[in-house]
Amino acid sequence: MPTEIYNSIQEEIQALKQKRNAVILAHNYQTGDIQDLADFTGDSLGLARQAQKIDADVIVFSGVLFMAETVSILCPDKTVLVPDLEAGCSLASMIQPAEVRKWKETHPDGVVVAYVNTTAAVKAESDYCCTSSNAVQVVQSIPKDLEILFIPDFYLGSYVQIKTGRQNMTLWKGYCHVHVMIQSERIARLRKEHEHAELIMHPECGCLTKSMSYADQILSTEGMVQYVRKSEAPEFIVATETGILHKMRKENPDKNFIPATDQAVCNYMKQNTLEKIVSSLEQMRHEVRVPEALRKRAVLPIERMLEVSSNGKS
Ligand code: CIZ
Ligand code: SF4
């Protein structure tokens, strides 16, 4: 029986955080209550890099599993907990390590570029990691005569191919089940209805190549958050998972944010709840630890990406 009485679940979490010397990291797609309680919010790589700087024993990562793995890869000395082990990712699950190995067998000089939405086991088979913000830069850094396998997001890969003009690039046909729901017809209609709005799109959107000519910005979630802060536009059509709107609205109360569709809700991201964060801290569960041998291989593509990204940011 717990002896402490708390006025709110937020208070209970604060007390548990102190007891465990823990911090809470929340992805931009988490529900507003989790984002409000978190010590840091951001995109997956930004959060993992933040975790490296934090003086804490325990990190509760509220997001999805591959993201918690990235934290474990970059912070092997910390205990990384997730509130719910069922918080997977449809995109990350679309490619397996054996499939990458098979491609490499037939393309011994080929280079594998893995979007950050991949498991640690897939990263360990890859040469470079990339985020949506630096994918073009990473591909441009690879000698032109080398074949590239771009995994797992077909839409981000298509965008990179258009931007770089690279032909010797095989695109894996993976996709995010949330971002494919965002349709170009609806975006076109919203643009007509809101003529002063800027359109900001995430490159995982299934309609990216159709809509990119009239998108004002194509950005990662954290890129979007930073962009709307400084833009003078009064309205934004936001084409990504709707969790991002919480931070945008909170930080910019005088601006209007219109989701490209209300249906772009990631059921995996929304597995996490404040109650599960309490259990996580109380019972020190569910630990995500990338085994050291795998970690040593999975960190290499991340380090290569950071070297290429000139300023070292995601
Ligand atoms: O890496 C992340 O956090 C993802 C997949 C979303 C984004 O672009 O911020
Ligand atoms: Fe994965 Fe898509 Fe959910 Fe992001 S929104 S975690 S890519 S399923």
pLDDT in tens, 197-231: 999 999 999 999 999 988 999 999 999 999 999 99
Q: How many Å lie between the centroid of ligand 2 and the Cα of residue 1?
A: 37
Cα of 83 vs its chain's centroid, Å: 17
Task: Kindly give, in sequence order, each residue whose CB lies less than 8 Å from that of residue 91, ignoring residues fewer than 6 positions away.
Answer: 115, 117, 152, 153, 174, 175, 176, 177, 204
The answer to whether the CB of 244 is under 6 A from ligand 2 is no
Superfamily of domain 92-176+294-313: NadA-like (3.40.50.10800)
Q: How much is the average pLDDT of 169-183?
A: 97
- Which pLDDT score is estimated for 2? 57
Q: How many Å lie between the centroid of ligand 2 and the Cα of residue 266?
A: 6
Q: What is the pLDDT of residues 12-49, one digit of tens each?
A: 999 999 999 999 999 999 999 999 999 999 999 999 99
In the CATH hierarchy, which top-level class contains the domain 9-87+269-283?
A: alpha beta
Residues comprising the chain, all counted: 314
Q: Which atom of ligand 2 is nearest to the CA of 153?
A: 7
The answer to whether the CB of 117 is under 6 A from ligand 2 is yes
Q: What is the pLDDT of residues 74-124, one digit of tens each?
A: 999 999 999 999 999 999 999 999 999 999 999 999 999 999 999 999 999
More confident site: 230 or 314: 230
What DSSP string runs through the chain? ------SSHHHHHHHHHHHHTEEEEEETTS-HHHHHH-SEEE-HHHHHHHHHH---SEEEEES-HHHHHHHHHH-TTSEEE-S-TT---TTGGG--HHHHHHHHHH-TT-EEEEESSS-HHHHTT-SEEE-TTTHHHHHHTS-TTS-EEEESBHHHHHHHHHHH---SEEE--B--TTGGG--HHHHHHHHHH-TTEEEEE-TT-TTHHHHGGG-SEE--HHHHHHHHHH---SEEEEES-TTHHHHHHHH-TTSEEEES-TT---TTGGG--HHHHHHHHHHT--B----HHHHHHHHHHHHHHHHHSTTS--
Pocket probe for ligand 2: among 177, 201, 205, 266, the residue whose CB has the most ligand atoms within 8 Å is 266
Tell whether the model's pLDDT for residue 6 goes beyond 80.
Answer: yes
Q: Which atom of ligand 1 is nearest to the CA of 117?
A: 5
The answer to whether the CB of 84 is under 6 A from ligand 2 is no
Distance CA 22, CA 36 (A): 16
For the record, the structure tokens of 95 come out as 């490619």
Domain residue spans in the chain? 9-87+269-283, 92-176+294-313, 179-259
The answer to whether the CB of 48 is under 6 A from ligand 2 is no
Tell whether the model's pLDDT for residue 259 goes beyond 70.
Answer: yes
Q: What is the pLDDT of residues 113-135, one digit of tens each?
A: 999 999 999 999 999 999 998 99
Q: Which atom of ligand 1 is nearest to the CA of 63?
A: 3
The answer to whether the CB of 239 is under 6 A from ligand 2 is no
Q: How much is the average pLDDT of 63-73?
A: 97
Q: How much is the average pLDDT of 256-274?
A: 98
Tell whether the model's pLDDT for residue 262 goes beyond 90.
Answer: yes
The answer to whether the CB of 116 is under 6 A from ligand 1 is yes
Going by CA atoms, what residue is nearest to atom 2 of ligand 2?
176
- Which pLDDT score is estimated for 309? 82
Q: First and final CA of the chain: distance in angstroms?
A: 44
Cα of 24 vs its chain's centroid, Å: 16
Domain 179-259 in CATH 3.40.50.10800? The answer is yes
Identical fold between 9-87+269-283 and 92-176+294-313: yes
Q: How many Å lie between the centroid of ligand 2 and the Cα of residue 176?
A: 6
Please state the φ and ψ torsions of residue 291, each to the nearest 5 degrees: -55, 145
